[in-house]
Structure 1
């Protein structure tokens, strides 16, 4: 099946209305865009090539071409729900012990209760977003090879810059394939080498893992990535090493073969790369986190700007959906709350140290601390983690209070410190950044939590919950620790108020039936249990 993307090239900038990319199908990874301005023209101009790269980054933050809504990248679901970051966050958080999204839109309740099927539109939106971004990256990589640059007369410094852009696009593609491996296992696969118009072939989880492994190692060896912290919000060597750490820490789950030594190796690289913990935990999630000391901890953000990245996903969702009842919109720097997200009681229960300032981001006044009703915003603890105010208390740049300036910290140093500690405890060797206990206590000390005298794997899981809650890590963590489907429950897991064990196959989401119908190469490859 061959579906064409069409785009208008007059708006290629990192903004809400970047680029017109309208598609009736986002399943094909090997598509070539149909440009209103010919691709030969675009890719002869280094300035426009940089603008196309900007779109690759912006696809994580925005949902369409006009901003904030009206021209979605993908169809079949409300545009706000289709945003990459919003869709990914929902599957990683509301399917766990950390969060509830209590709206009754479509089949959203079944995501909360881990009772989805292969026709769930929220799972499909996440899947489609991942492969949409992969398709964009494939085309950019295809058009920026050394041979194509030479054909178009691009040489010298400009060619060198574009080689760096191409390395960044390869990283973004690998990041998306990691999301696919983590959430869907095996699936369709294509690179820039695929024949235009062909159906992507199916590859197993282990095969795609091997590709990501080899691609990240190649990027590291080639040295084309920017140095760590060279340019805020662009993928660099530190970002690359962080993804490699994550890949290897979860290798046992993905392939059945542990890679903890490799996880330690690349965590060491990140820990030696000059990142530092923000003195204030809360400042990591405020509207000026790109300007304060928080930026020295953030390894890879998804950037937002209230006047230029307008949409109803991403940080707009994360800030607005948590506001309501006694949490006022003004305190979050916005014009109104959506009354949707709150914490299950399992999350506040992790905070046993009375001196831990991270617990200050929970709001309990007039709330039932227990989630007894999924749809009631009064049911569960409110979370004030993400806000559209600066560290000085000033609201963000959007004067109407709709769209936040707060950047989303997809990767940050504290996460790497905890991954390093975990990999050591799981048997990884070669640690040069101190002991597991020292790294965990460094993270705790920043928030005033009392120091531990010893550390176990259970301590690590709990500390990851305390440090990284609502940052999109929890589902992956619970699966890695063997606590996602059985042996540990939370409200409405499995559809009952007290929670229950669910099928072991729930560690993967289903490949959407729409894609299996569209691509004959996926026939017979649905994930078990669906």
Structure 2
């Protein structure tokens, strides 16, 4: 019932490239006319960028990457958020090949690959081709990470040809090749994170090489062996990003990477979706509406929460845990970060639930049976209140962030920890503590796999990378709150949608499904 984004446009392309969608109007969606070769234009490229907008949804890619982890869940509250179990199944690792978001994410991402391929195959302008190559690599990266197989159709092929399928290893090589071409032909960062740049290509290359051991592993779910040569590549690309002028936010400014003016204020944001008052192409408001109670300002959907154990992994002095944010808290009572305890509105008025009880967000929460006030909420993004303490967040100006500099630095630190050599001479501990210091967290004495994973969680929570991290550290299947038993390692991959397997004999269902 809660705003599940179902992209009908995805079906039109998947019908051409991957599988068939049911109940489609043939006049609108059933054409089998092959793509006509020509010089791809800026408008064609804009269509590929537009496919990124689904990344800012609370469902699909984001939900698959977050709800399955130790930092997010979507509790059912009476009749709210039941949604036929779609959120509960993600958190309990009990999805199957017919799960709606498993299917919709597959369609959405493969549509992105196909649209990008159309531009790559016809563009004569290297700038356009490089941007499309980067976008194709990003969409395919998500497919490889989530599903482990990547269908691919040449736009010039006959509509009757069955798409080939890259296995996980070969698809990873394909992604690297795309990104290397993009990196060589993209421009330097322009200040607009909505345009792919050399820094974006370098940042994504670092992430691919860091996860290469996962994608090349002989067994799904590990164990993983991290080659020094791959770790050195992570460090190389991370250093290239640093050389382009990105820096960490100063003390007290962590949340300005996500605030309404992050376009102008951020020193860390590398790539994402740019929004402005004049042009909101992919509203970041889902990120606060997911957890805001109906009686808060602005009102929200009263949905997702974090887990108490994750919340308690932060020190009290760590800014990332939560702060009063100027221009936000003093106007509408909302704090940036984690929200627990009594909640306040404009004028610091203590808010109440719909039934009249105090609105007190509690640590305890049940995945199946929760009240409207249970669960710790998270407001990493937040809207700009007006002068009269109201919020119209339908045109929020927050850029939506996909790649960020602190992530790149932590990847470099992890690569050093895993045996890579930094020509700049930094140690993993130095990098981690350099990130913790401006956040107000105390310095660590040592860093190992456990503390590195924990630090990535504290720095990057709710940014869509937690599942990816947990799998790489071989912790994804561990029990967590509301999932008391370990899941099988085959759950580190989602199933291929059954209708895709049924229509493409080159696709083979993943192990365990």
TM-score by length of 2: 0.80
1:521 aligned to which of 503, 506, 513: 506
1:228 aligned to which of 186, 189, 211: 189
Matches within 5 A, 1:90-105: 90-102=63-75, 103-105=81-83
Matches within 5 A, 1:129-278: 129-144=108-123, 146=124, 162-192=125-155, 194-220=157-183, 223-229=184-190, 231-256=192-217, 258=226, 259-278=230-249
What is the alpha-carbon distance in structure 2 between the residues aligned to residue 504 and residue 243 of structure 1?
A: 25
CA offsets 1:308-353 (integer angstroms, 9 cap, x no match):
4467xx6232221110167x22xxxx4x2101111111221110x2
* Unaligned stretches of 5+ residues in structure 2: 1-6, 20-28, 76-80, 218-224, 323-336, 342-359
Structure 1 runs (4+) greater than 4 angstroms displaced: 19-25, 82-85, 191-197, 393-396
Secondary structure of 1:114's counterpart equals coil
State the 1:189 CA deviation: 2.2
Give the direction of change, closer, same or farther, for the CA distance of 1:492–1:287 in structure 2 (3 Å limit): same
What is the alpha-carbon distance in structure 2 between the residues aligned to residue 409 and residue 433 of structure 1?
A: 29
8 Å contact from structure 2 (residues 10, 108) kept in 1: no
State the 1:30 CA deviation: 8.2
Question: In angstroms, what is the RMSD of aligned CA positions?
Answer: 2.9
What is the alpha-carbon distance in structure 2 between the residues aligned to residue 369 and residue 261 of structure 1?
A: 41
2:268 aligned to which of 297, 306, 310: 297
Residue number in structure 1 paired with 2:293: 324
Instruction: Give the count of matched residue pairs.
Output: 444
What is the alpha-carbon distance in structure 1 between the residues aligned to residue 206 and residue 164 of structure 2?
A: 28
8 Å contact from structure 2 (residues 10, 107) kept in 1: no
Give the direction of change, closer, same or farther, for the CA distance of 1:164–1:20 in structure 2 (3 Å limit): farther
Residue number in structure 1 paired with 2:60: 87
1:386 aligned to which of 364, 381, 385: 381
8 Å contact from structure 1 (residues 253, 480) kept in 2: yes
Residue number in structure 2 paired with 1:359: 321
TM-score by length of 1: 0.77
What is the alpha-carbon distance in structure 2 between the residues aligned to residue 34 and residue 119 of structure 1?
A: 23
Matches within 5 A, 1:15-26: 23-24=11-12, 26=14
What is the alpha-carbon distance in structure 1 between the residues aligned to residue 10 and residue 166 of structure 2?
A: 27
2:97 aligned to which of 103, 113, 118: 118
8 Å contact from structure 2 (residues 285, 383) kept in 1: no
What is the alpha-carbon distance in structure 2 between the residues aligned to residue 242 and residue 22 of structure 1?
A: 27
State the 1:89 CA deviation: 1.0
State the 1:479 CA deviation: 0.5
What is the alpha-carbon distance in structure 2 between the residues aligned to residue 22 and residue 372 of structure 1?
A: 34
State the 1:507 CA deviation: 0.2
8 Å contact from structure 1 (residues 229, 238) kept in 2: no
Residue number in structure 1 paired with 2:220: none
8 Å contact from structure 2 (residues 231, 420) kept in 1: yes
State the 1:405 CA deviation: 2.1
Residue number in structure 1 paired with 2:254: 281
Secondary structure of 2:415's counterpart equals helix
Residue number in structure 2 paired with 1:7: none
1:52 equivalenced with 2:44 (yes/no): yes
What is the alpha-carbon distance in structure 2 between the residues aligned to residue 378 and residue 309 of structure 1?
A: 31
Tell which deviates more after alignment, 168-177 or 442-451: 442-451
8 Å contact from structure 1 (residues 345, 369) kept in 2: yes
8 Å contact from structure 1 (residues 91, 123) kept in 2: yes
State the 1:304 CA deviation: 3.4
1:463 aligned to which of 446, 452, 455: 455
CA offsets 1:98-129 (integer angstroms, 9 cap, x no match):
01123211341211221000000111111110
Give the direction of change, closer, same or farther, for the CA distance of 1:374–1:20 in structure 2 (3 Å limit): closer
State the 1:212 CA deviation: 1.2
What is the alpha-carbon distance in structure 2 between the residues aligned to residue 240 and residue 260 of structure 1?
A: 17
Secondary structure of 1:278's counterpart equals coil
What is the alpha-carbon distance in structure 1 between the residues aligned to residue 157 and residue 57 of structure 2?
A: 24
8 Å contact from structure 1 (residues 100, 341) kept in 2: yes
Residue number in structure 2 paired with 1:492: 482
8 Å contact from structure 1 (residues 362, 383) kept in 2: yes
